[in-house]
A and B are shown apart, each in its own frame.
Chain A
């Protein structure tokens, strides 16, 4: 269980939602990357992107286990109000990681909008991963100092994995950008199109602020500064242009999602919902 900070108190459900922000982002991103399995442009990259997907799924599992533990320790009133997905509310007794992953509907998911965006092609997948991996790299470095032991432990383990992820996606941005005329155009288009989802990552919500005050969450302003510097450096080395849009789409961390999440969950959750409690 996490230690409560002396600096400020927070609602237990805030910590639960914060954990789910991290867990859901990892799960949906892992799922999107796993869609490449068997369809990669070349064998070695098919394996690379599948390995990376598994890294995200592993982190998601640890976080969901912690989230389930937190939920089970909530008082009855908080439990009733934490989610509004009918199937989850019908679970009798303690919930577990699978219940959280498979029985919540889109509005109870708190992943970043960026990760539910479709793979489209290699350039779009690379652009999406580039933005997310850079964010994760700086996020986990800060989160490893969290007062919450469980989150700090997940962050500590993830740092090594994310160090490889950021290398993989950054190098692909550079190869595509400083490649042929076609690859340059494709990666530039992808970076431009997914740019509007990058603001949400470092824009602090009420929960982000509450967690930061409790020294459990991270200072997103610091992460943002690091993120912007690193992104600019790689884009420059790739001989590409920094996207310049200022309007950012938001809401994912609060359960307001794009139309894509519905399709992702429909595919991911179908088996558990059609054959409840199935095992294989």
Chain B
């Protein structure tokens, strides 16, 4: 606990902030900030990332809980899908009346 205290004395944990705008459906990554706990993180996000009416909903996640794919794996992860055209959703003829597909 004391090793953690030494680090905690110098810096609060880092949080990633996701904001959903009034017209939006999904939370978009807006940036990051430091805060001592989740409640402070939400309030800091409100002060830093919504002061110009950017959004109406806030998610905060401690950065250490975000796990991301490794860019070095990109080739093996994503390229095999390119030539399996039977999986791509591109063979439908959409009627002209449908405007939001």
- Chain B's interface size range is 10 to 19
- Tell me the minimal C-beta distance from A164 to chain B in angstroms: 8
What is the bound-complex CA distance between A44 and B43, given in angstroms? 9
What is the bound-complex CA distance between A74 and B19, given in angstroms? 50
In the complex, per-residue mask of A30-49: 1 if CB is within 8 Å of any chain B CB, else 0: 00000000000011110110
Q: Are A47 and B36 in contact (CB under 8 A)?
A: no
Q: Are B47 and A48 in contact (CB under 8 A)?
A: yes
Q: Are B48 and A47 in contact (CB under 8 A)?
A: yes
Q: Chain A residue with minimal CB distance to B33?
A: A44
Q: Are A42 and B51 in contact (CB under 8 A)?
A: no
- Tell me the minimal C-beta distance from B44 to chain A in angstroms: 4
What is the bound-complex CA distance between A61 and B12, given in angstroms? 37
Q: Are B34 and A171 in contact (CB under 8 A)?
A: no
- Tell me the minimal C-beta distance from B34 to chain A in angstroms: 6
Q: Are A175 and B48 in contact (CB under 8 A)?
A: no
The verdict on A122 contacting chain B, using a C-beta distance below 8 Å, is no
Q: Are B47 and A44 in contact (CB under 8 A)?
A: yes
The verdict on B40 contacting chain A, using a C-beta distance below 8 Å, is yes
| Contact for A42 among B34, B39, B43, CB less than 8 A | B34
| Contact for B44 among A48, A167, A175, CB less than 8 A | A48
Q: Are B47 and A51 in contact (CB under 8 A)?
A: yes
What is the bound-complex CA distance between A48 and B40, given in angstroms? 11
In the complex, per-residue mask of B7-25: 1 if CB is within 8 Å of any chain A CB, else 0: 0000010000000000000
Q: Chain A residue with minimal CB distance to B39?
A: A171
| Contact for A171 among B12, B40, B48, CB less than 8 A | B40
Q: Are B36 and A48 in contact (CB under 8 A)?
A: no
- Tell me the minimal C-beta distance from B83 to chain A in angstroms: 47
Residues of chain B contacted by A42 (CB below 8 angstroms): 12, 34
The verdict on A107 contacting chain B, using a C-beta distance below 8 Å, is no
The verdict on A168 contacting chain B, using a C-beta distance below 8 Å, is yes
Residues of chain A contacted by B36 (CB below 8 angstroms): 175
| Contact for B34 among A44, A47, A48, CB less than 8 A | A44
In the complex, per-residue mask of B38-52: 1 if CB is within 8 Å of any chain A CB, else 0: 011001100110010
Residues of chain B contacted by A175 (CB below 8 angstroms): 36, 40
In the complex, per-residue mask of A165-187: 1 if CB is within 8 Å of any chain B CB, else 0: 00110010001000000000000
What is the bound-complex CA distance between A47 and B31, given in angstroms? 15
What is the bound-complex CA distance between A14 and B69, given in angstroms? 68
What is the bound-complex CA distance between A119 and B21, given in angstroms? 36
Q: Chain A residue with minimal CB distance to B35?
A: A44
Residues of chain A contacted by B48 (CB below 8 angstroms): 43-44, 47
What is the bound-complex CA distance between A167 and B39, given in angstroms? 11
Q: Are A44 and B51 in contact (CB under 8 A)?
A: no
Residues of chain B contacted by A167 (CB below 8 angstroms): 43
Q: Chain B residue with minimal CB distance to A51?
A: B47
Question: What are 24 A-B contacts defined by CB distance under 8 Å?
Answer: A42-B34, A43-B34, A43-B48, A44-B34, A44-B35, A44-B44, A44-B47, A44-B48, A45-B44, A47-B47, A47-B48, A47-B51, A48-B43, A48-B44, A48-B47, A51-B47, A51-B51, A167-B43, A168-B43, A171-B39, A171-B40, A171-B43, A175-B36, A175-B40
Besides A51-B47, A168-B43, 7 more A-B contacts (Cβ < 8 Å) are A42-B34, A44-B48, A45-B44, A47-B51, A48-B44, A171-B39, A175-B36
